[in-house]
Structure 1
Amino acid sequence: MSVFLVFVGVALILVLMVVLKIDGFISLMLAAIAVGLMEGMQLNAITKSIYNGIGDQLKSLILILTFGAMLGKLLAESGAAQKIANTLIKKFGLKNIQWAILLTAIIIGITMFYEAGFVVLIPIIYTVAAETKLPLLYIGLPGIVGLAATHAFLPPHPGPAAVTVVFNANMGKTMLLGLPIAIVAATLLGVFYARTNWVKKINAVMPAGLISTNQLKEEELPGFGISILSALLPVFLIAISTIGELLLAKNDPLQIYLGFFGSAPIALFIAVLFAMYFLGIARGMKMDEIAKINASAVKAIAMIVLVIAAGGAFKQVIVDSGVANSIKAMTMGLQMNPYMLAWFVGAVIRIAVGSSTVAVTMASGIVLPLLSTVGISPELMVLATACGTVFCSHVNDPGFWMFKEYFGLSLIDTMKVRTVYSSLLSITGLIGVLIISAIL
């Protein structure tokens, strides 16, 4: 019954937003309360779930989104994003610009969490789209899918890293097996899916306030070196921290410092300070101008933050209502290939609870006994479980709303693009796992 009520909640959101035209934040809050009541939760329990869901969703994400918006706006207003875009277009050409964005996304995504990588990459996507006059999704989808693939298949991202620990798998081997799957999946979906008529028919719009209408002359632009360093500084800091995690003990004093400066919010904060000086003050910009740029960036993402927060509330109500127990009962005794079963359990939980990180945590506990099967690779089980939990992103996934708002899409169009590409990414990942298991 619990799983059925999740689908009722999803249907309610569709009615509220598509039929009644109510905005996403209000619709998600109403659906969260309605699902809680239908699940038999007490009113105080529903309230607690909503508070916890919003808090858990925004505890570090609010800083990532805020600093990311500031950095993006500084890159745009200073001309740094324009310089990066012009250089990519010049080096790769219009014909290969999708490959340039995809490559950039994979490099960023190997070490950077999805949300942080998203807000770093999005101003470059906006500027390339504006400069080339190409459709926003044609430019943006390779980047977003590249980030999604690395997030789904590679430790140290939260999902794969968590399952690696539960399954006692080797993290280095998991990364080596996951990287080719991530690259192939990102290439197939990021480039070729973006060129299909299915995607071409959908019109994405850049949100007002996050792009610059001020086009500078080439001689007015900052240098490429300082522009790319400003954009990728968070990536470098996080990469150094990740290397430290692999080489140093957790309580090593050096790793404590690396972990602090390499955490996504702090890394983005440092990048904002760096950009304020080197892209602003050092190039003659007054501090009050910089303050206005930062303020306008924060105003532009206010509704995006609220919608993502409400998505977290809706997800938490579903989690707290006991959906996991229903799913566990459904999957007990199924006779399937262990990798396929791990993927299936992950996919079912993902559809029900939304958050891939929550889903992978739940799924790992359910499929853990499968590791006793002879010939099963713990590393491939990590990948099978993790790629199952990116299947079918829809309205109970906060990342769904992030994608929707930053690309200015309708709810239906977001489902056509995000839900489809996440499902295809998940299935491609499973095929990759099965091929590797057959070879090994």
Structure 2
Amino acid sequence: MAIEFAHSPLLTFILALAAVILLLVVWDLPAFVGLIIAAFFVGIINAVFVPDFAWADAASRVAAAFGENMAGIGIPILMAAIIGKSMLESGSAQRVVRGFQSALGRENSDIALWGSSTVLAVPVFFDSVFYLMAPLARSMRARVGRDYTLFIVVVGAGAATTHVFVPPTPGPLAVAAEIGVNLGMTILVGVATALPAAFLAGIVYGRWINRRLDIPLRDTMATTTEELEELANRNTSSLPGMFESLLPILLAVVLVGALTFVNSFRDVLPTLEAIRPYVQFIGNKNVALTIAAMAAAHTYYRHNDLDREEWTEELTEALRSGGNIAAITAAGGAFGALLAASGIGDYITGVLAGIGIPLIVSAWLIAAIVRIAQGSATAAMLTTAGIMAPQVSQLDVHPAFLVMAIGAGGNIFSWYNDSGFWLVKEIGGLTIGETLRTWTALTTIISLTGLVVTVVLSSVLPVVARILPFL
């Protein structure tokens, strides 16, 4: 039973931060173990101080949150492990990389990866985009022999930016629905906001940090650096064809994108309702990535001269690697969920209520603080949308700009309590310090740039609209 006296959730947040740093940085425990212990620790604090949070909940809620996160990412990560290993070791990823370089030139390899991840993240969840693009980043590094820091940053920046700004990506789509803003206008403003933010975080910051941080290519996704380097030196004629190489990515994007399309436009095109049940099945990310994984595995089998038993063993090895990544990612989500149960979100919004700053900036600030405290960008965005929705009538700009401000705030400073942080670290083969200097930094740059662009656009566009009739 909770002790009923004044306790600030901010203290819980500080203690949780100290615990995770002690466990993961000072004691260097395995990420999964450290995050689960940190989650139990937060659960104990909640049991002592939070009303209606029983001692039994300190354990059961950690397990439940872990299970909920695993339900969301378990199958996709395991299938992504098969896709990653199959594309890397069959030579498919290397074939795609060479195609990029032929089209844009070797010196523009980063722009090819950046553009691809930015576009893919519009119809597909961020995590799915990173699963698909990480093998290409690793193969690009093996091909050019340098710049892995840059390749990881551009992939992360492209995927993370459209994830929070451009519907029909689920986060901004839900925020737009909560606020009641026109979807078409939100998409236009989202693209205008996302492109400069993605470019600054991906290309500008990526090239800057790449000159100062050289991340080596480590063994991850069940593939060694020696195998990647051997593939990088193969003759192109011995690699799979371009269409076959791209097929796993195309299948995942088309299938998941079809579900997004049907859900977004079924009111406009009522005939889509008839096929919606079938698209809901094959467009589910679990099914879509399973289909994509089977396509990648088939290419791996055809191009590597393996017998069926060897092929099965290689896929099992990939699943072992994927299981570890899934466990760490779900543990990070559980840690964030226990922090959220402390009431830190309500505490923050209560403190900020009535400060008197402009609504656009206030929305960004609330979303940013909730994101840092709780970990989930989507949860921060939806929490803030619910708070700001009643105040939309007080806006003197189009409410689409409010959606952008909320998305920008919800993207800031991804760290230990965000499952995305651990996904990038594990799939990218990074250390915690490297993840902070790349992923955490780029999410913060996206957030700040998004706020600045939103404020500028919301100030300039009304003026232009008033001038246009006189031109």
CA distance in 2, matches of 1:72, 1:411: 22
Counting only pairs closer than 5 Å after superposition, residues 279-290 of structure 1 correspond to structure 2 as 280-281=301-302, 286-290=307-311
- Of 289-298 and 306-315, the range deviating more from structure 2: 289-298
In the alignment, is residue 89 of structure 1 matched against residue 95 of structure 2? no
Matched letter for residue 340 of structure 2: V
**Contact map agreement 1:207 1:406 (CA 8 A) in 2:** no
Counting only pairs closer than 5 Å after superposition, residues 118-267 of structure 1 correspond to structure 2 as 118-197=130-209, 200-211=212-223, 213=227, 214-215=230-231, 216-249=234-267, 252-267=273-288
TM-score (norm 2): 0.88
Give 1:24's aligned residue.
31
Cα deviation 1:81-136 (Å, max 9, x = unaligned): 11111221222222111101111111211111001111111111111111110131
CA distance in 2, matches of 1:408, 1:31: 23
CA distance in 1, matches of 2:185, 2:60: 40
Cα deviation 1:205-262 (Å, max 9, x = unaligned): 4333533605243222111122122332211222222222232249812122122212
Give 2:90's aligned residue.
78
- Unmatched runs of 5 consecutive residues or more in structure 2: 1-7, 463-471
Cα deviation 1:375-416 (Å, max 9, x = unaligned): 242221111112111111111111111112223333233222
CA distance in 1, matches of 2:311, 2:71: 26
Question: What is the aligned counterpart of 1:322 among 326, 338, 343?
Answer: 343
Give 1:36's aligned residue.
43
Question: What is the aligned counterpart of 2:289 among 246, 268, 271?
Answer: 268
Matched letter for residue 403 of structure 1: V
Give 2:465's aligned residue.
none
Give 1:295's aligned residue.
316
CA distance in 1, matches of 2:68, 2:187: 27
Change (3 A) 1:199 1:317: farther
Matched letter for residue 114 of structure 2: L
Give 1:339's aligned residue.
360
Cα deviation 1:12-54 (Å, max 9, x = unaligned): 2112222112121121112112222223243211223212211
Counting only pairs closer than 5 Å after superposition, residues 388-399 of structure 1 correspond to structure 2 as 388-399=409-420
- Of 281-290 and 406-415, the range deviating more from structure 2: 281-290
Matched letter for residue 88 of structure 2: A
CA distance in 1, matches of 2:295, 2:436: 37
Change (3 A) 1:387 1:28: same
RMSD of aligned C-alpha atoms? 2.0
* Percent identity for Structure 1 against Structure 2: 26
**Contact map agreement 1:209 1:296 (CA 8 A) in 2:** no
**Contact map agreement 1:74 1:293 (CA 8 A) in 2:** no
**Contact map agreement 1:138 1:200 (CA 8 A) in 2:** no
CA distance in 1, matches of 2:210, 2:41: 34
Give 2:3's aligned residue.
none
Give 1:104's aligned residue.
116
Deviation at 1:369, TM superposition (A): 2.3
**Contact map agreement 2:138 2:217 (CA 8 A) in 1:** no
Change (3 A) 1:210 1:154: farther
Change (3 A) 1:395 1:104: same
Cα deviation 1:301-328 (Å, max 9, x = unaligned): 2322221111111111111121122112
Change (3 A) 1:419 1:4: farther
Question: What is the aligned counterpart of 2:380 among 313, 337, 359?
Answer: 359
**Contact map agreement 2:367 2:384 (CA 8 A) in 1:** yes
Deviation at 1:287, TM superposition (A): 3.2
- Of 207-216 and 129-138, the range deviating more from structure 2: 207-216
**Contact map agreement 2:333 2:418 (CA 8 A) in 1:** yes
Larger Rg: 2
In the alignment, is residue 2 of structure 1 matched against residue 9 of structure 2? yes
Matched letter for residue 97 of structure 2: A
In the alignment, is residue 430 of structure 1 matched against residue 442 of structure 2? no
- Unmatched runs of 5 consecutive residues or more in structure 1: none
TM-score (norm 1): 0.94
Deviation at 1:170, TM superposition (A): 1.7
CA distance in 2, matches of 1:152, 1:204: 30
